[in-house]
Amino acid sequence: MDELGLIKDAQSGDLGAFNRLVLAYQNQAYNLAYRMLSEEAAAADATQNAFLSAYKNLRSYRGGSFRAWVLRMVTNSCYDELRRRHRHPTTSLEPATEDDEEIESPRWLASDGPSPEESVERAELEQAIQRCLGGLPEEFRLIVILVDIQGMDYSEVSAAIGKPLGTVKSRLARARMRLRGCLQGFGELLPLAFRLEDEATQ
């Protein structure tokens, strides 16, 4: 895919070229939105709004990592959604357990890949990680998602969030420290190596 050519065509108004770029980055964009918002519907809306905003502001792209530029649009869209949530807090309609924790939808049971036990453990681990991610401050969460989940390097993250490289490093370190402390609360869900090392350190 000639990304630069598609970008130029899209900047000249070729919607088809831009949609090819959308198809190339929509999974990353949706993953970032989902990890930031922890909600599929909201993540889909944020992703759609981000691509729409990207198309409207495509002329502001001045080169560099187009992925970082797109993910920056997604980040802004997620921030808009998070601000809206702060202004209008909602109460989930999901049933809650005795511990006042939401019972997630059992859709993962339909997975036909691994065994049910593995699926349960994987889903619970993912849920635990997502919960820890959600407990991070938004700026820390974004850095961790971009580096550890999206696999971006520091300079790309710096371009995506518009912050200096030193800020990226410090926020990433703090975010990982906090995640480490949070995940230790889900010891039984963690992989064996993680638990053994954790127990050894204790």
Partner 1 sequence: MTQHLSDRDYEVLCAYLDGELPHHEQVKLEFRLRHQPDLQTALDELRQTSLLLRKLPQKRAPRNFTIQPAMVRQRAVPRAFPALRLASVLASLLFVIAFASDLITSHPIQSLSAMENVPTSAAGSRALQTQAPAATEAPAVPAAAPLAPPTPTQNQEAPLLMQAPAATQTPGGPADLAAGSVMAPTDTPAGIAASPTPTAEPTSAPYTALGVAPPRTKSSQPQTPAATLTPSEQIPVVTGTYGLGGGPGPEVTGSTETPTPEPTPLPPTETAAPETRQPTPTGTVLPASPGETAQAFKSAAGSEIPPATAVQSGAGSPTSVLPGFTRLPTALAPVLPAPAAARPVLRAMEFFFAGLAVLTGLAALLVRILPH
| CA 195 – CA 202 distance, rounded (Å) | 10
- Alpha-carbon torsion angle 41, 143, 148, 81, nearest 10: 0
- Between 97 and 115, name the residue whose CB sits nearer to partner 1: 115
Token digits for 85?
């949530």
- Between 98 and 149, name the residue whose CB sits nearer to partner 1: 149
- Between 91 and 201, name the residue whose CB sits nearer to partner 1: 201
Token digits for 31?
């993953």
Measured from the CB of residue 102, what is the shortest distance to partner 1 in angstroms?
Answer: 19
Measured from the CB of residue 119, what is the shortest distance to partner 1 in angstroms?
Answer: 11
| CA 168 – CA 147 distance, rounded (Å) | 10
| CA 186 – CA 133 distance, rounded (Å) | 13
Measured from the CB of residue 46, what is the shortest distance to partner 1 in angstroms?
Answer: 10
Run of H or E including 119: helix 116-135
147: DSSP letter = I
Measured from the CB of residue 97, what is the shortest distance to partner 1 in angstroms?
Answer: 23
Measured from the CB of residue 169, what is the shortest distance to partner 1 in angstroms?
Answer: 5
Closest CA to 171 of 150, 149, 147: 147
- Between 102 and 126, name the residue whose CB sits nearer to partner 1: 126
Say if residues 91 and 180 touch (Cβ distance below 8 Å).
no
- Between 103 and 192, name the residue whose CB sits nearer to partner 1: 192
- Between 30 and 69, name the residue whose CB sits nearer to partner 1: 30
Write out the residues near partner 1 by the rule CB under 8 A. 15, 18-19, 22-23, 26-27, 29-31, 34-35, 40, 43-44, 47-48, 51-52, 55-56, 84, 87-88, 122, 125-126, 129, 144, 147-149, 151, 153-154, 169-170, 172-174, 176-177, 179-180, 183, 190-191, 193-194, 197-198, 201-202
Q: Find tokens 């797109």 and name the residue.
A: 70
Residues 6+ apart with CB under 8 A from 136: 144, 175, 178, 179
Measured from the CB of residue 149, what is the shortest distance to partner 1 in angstroms?
Answer: 6
